[in-house]
């Protein structure tokens, strides 16, 4: 099943809950995450500086993201290296977005006291995506280079 880059971005945006795999020392760590946006400028999501995830990415920025679309039964895995984005305008955009109302509570209760320092935005650019479905279960992977 051939899938184009734009279709992958659309699938990710339609299914914003994904799983993220990191390395913690010599142990893998996987957790659910909430995508902000995926497009040709990268895959954007965030965490807090107080979280182990932030330390893990600083130490080893190589990660894998796994998205699943239940309508098409298609899984998309994206591997690559995360960069930390320090753009205050982007942080404000994320904070003000209707899907991120929960951030206001975190800021108000002090979890994000120094917002621009404690709110960490990650970008994965130039990742390598592979798709999987039951229909293609035994096919050789066809990696797709993302922008």
- Please provide the DSSP assignment of 32-75 as one string: EEE--EEETTEEEEEEETTSHHHHHHHH--EEEEEEEETTTTEE
- Please count the structural domains in the chain: 1
Q: Does residue 63 form part of some domain?
A: yes
Q: Does residue 139 form part of some domain?
A: no
pLDDT (0 to 100) of residue 1: 56
3-state helix, strand, coil in the chain (%, to 5): 30, 40, 30
Q: Does residue 140 form part of some domain?
A: no
Distance CA 96, CA 91 (A): 9
Is the separation of the CB atoms in 120 and 54 below 8 Å? yes
> Which residue range is the domain that position 120 belongs to?
5-134
pLDDT (0 to 100) of residue 2: 65
pLDDT 10s digit of each residue in the chain, 147 long? 568 999 999 999 999 999 999 999 999 999 999 999 999 999 999 999 999 999 999 999 999 999 999 999 999 999 999 999 999 999 999 999 999 999 998 888 887 779 999 999 999 999 999 999 888 888 888 899 998
Distance CA 132, CA 141 (A): 8
Distance CA 77, CA 68 (A): 9
Is the separation of the CB atoms in 32 and 17 below 8 Å? yes
Q: Does residue 58 form part of some domain?
A: yes
pLDDT (0 to 100) of residue 143: 93
Can you tell me whether residue 132 is helix, strand or coil? strand
CATH code of the domain in which 22 resides: 2.30.110.10
């Amino acid at each position: 099943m051939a899938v184009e880059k734009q279709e992958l971005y659309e699938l990710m945006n339609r299914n914003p809950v994904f799983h993220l795999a990191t390395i913690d020392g010599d142990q893998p760590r996987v957790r659910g995450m909430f995508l902000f946006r995926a497009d040709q400028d990268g895959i954007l999501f965030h965490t807090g500086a107080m979280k182990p995830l932030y330390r893990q990415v600083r130490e080893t920025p190589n990660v894998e993201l796994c998205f699943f679309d239940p309508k098409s039964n298609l899984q998309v895995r994206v591997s690559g290296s995360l960069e930390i984005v320090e753009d205050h305008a982007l942080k404000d955009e994320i904070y003000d977005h209707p899907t991120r109302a929960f951030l206001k509570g975190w800021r108000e209760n002090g979890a994000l006291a120094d917002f621009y320092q404690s709110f960490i935005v990650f970008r994965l650019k130039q990742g390598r995506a592979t798709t999987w479905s039951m229909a293609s279960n035994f096919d050789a992977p066809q990696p797709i280079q993302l922008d």
